Amino acid sequence: GTIVELLLEDGIDGGKLLSRFRDCAGYLVVFSRSIHKCDVGGIDSKPRSFTWKPEHILENIALGDVIAPAGRHRALVTVGQGRLRSLSPLAPFVVTLSGHHS
């Protein structure tokens, strides 16, 4: 794993910076080629974990859970040439190919 520690210049609000990073971390693990789990913590905050474990339903299409600022939601992603090409949030109730619903 990798640990990142940020040294902030005077006048930078570390709480706001960490909050913004937390808001984006759920998408980071989806769009990254190799980072599929990210734990974010801070001195004054409870650690939060973001994970991307897609279910490949067709060769270039995967289904997975994304943790976004508004909460967790299912998303359909298309992949091409080893890269994520698009992310489409799904309706709150979706029947997947395995017969489970969310």
Residue pLDDT, tens place only, 5-56? 778 888 888 888 888 888 889 988 888 878 889 998 877 778 889 998 988 8
Is the pLDDT assigned to residue 96 strictly greater than 80? Answer: no
The predicted-structure confidence for 57-68, as pLDDT tens digits, reads as follows: 888 888 888 888
64 C-beta neighbours (distance < 10 Å), count: 18
> What are the structure tokens assigned to 33, written together?
């080629």
Q: For residue 97, what pLDDT is reported? A: 43
The sheet with strand 83-89 has its strands ordered as 55-58, 61-68, 71-80, 83-89
